[in-house]
A = this chain, B = another copy of it.
Amino acid sequence: MKLSRKALQSDFSPMRKYYKASIEAKNRGISIYHLNIGQPDIETPKEYFKAIRGFNSKTDAYAPSQGSEDLLAAVVKYYKSIGQDITKDNVVITTGGSEALLFAAICTMDYGDEVLIPEPFYPNYATIFNAAGGVIKPIHTLHSEDYFYADPKKIGKLITRKTKALLLSNPNNPTGTAIGDKQMLDMLELCRENDIFLICDEVYREIYFGKEQKSSSALQFRDYDENVVVIDSASKRFSCCGSRIGALISRNNDIIQNSLKFAQARLSVSTINQAGAIALFDGITEKYSKELCEKYKRRIDVAVSELEKIPGVEVSVPAGAFYIMAALPIEDADEFQSWLLSSFDDNKETVMFAPGR
Contact = CB atoms under 8 A, between A and B. Distances in A.
Given A96-B266, A261-B11, A272 B3 contact: no
Interface stretch (A12-20, A154-162, A308-316): A12-20
Interface string A237-265: 00111111000000010110010111011
Contact of A10 (B10, B49, B261): B261
A270 B255 contact: no
Contacts of A25: none
Nearest to A255: B3
Interface stretch (A76-84, A102-110, A321-329): A102-110
A62 B39 CA distance: 7
B128 A131 contact: no
A5 B258 CA distance: 11
Contacts of A242: 59-63, 268, 270-272
Contacts of A132: 4, 131
Point out which of A13, A40, A53 has the most chain B C-beta atoms below 10 A from its C-beta: A13
A234 to B, nearest CB: 10
B13 A261 contact: yes
Contacts of A15: 264
Contact of A106 (B4, B39, B95, B262): B4
A228 to B, nearest CB: 11
A8 interface: yes
B53 A131 contact: no
Interface string A13-48: 101110100000000000000000101111110001
Contact of A265 (B124, B241, B265): B124
A66 B49 CA distance: 24
B43 A61 contact: no
B266 A99 contact: yes
A133 interface: yes
Interface in A120-136: 124, 127-128, 131-133
B3 A60 contact: no
Contacts of A350: none
A303 interface: no
Contacts of A60: 44, 48-49, 239-243, 276
A106 B19 CA distance: 23
A269 interface: yes
A59 B44 contact: yes
A59 B5 CA distance: 38
A242 to B, nearest CB: 3
A1 interface: yes
Interface string A63-83: 111100000000000000000
A164 B53 CA distance: 45
A170 interface: no
A137 interface: no
5 nearest A-B residue pairs (beta carbon) = A242-B271, A127-B265, A13-B264, A98-B266, A16-B264
14 contacts: A1-B164, A7-B258, A13-B264, A19-B64, A19-B65, A43-B59, A95-B95, A95-B99, A95-B244, A95-B270, A98-B266, A127-B265, A242-B272, A273-B273
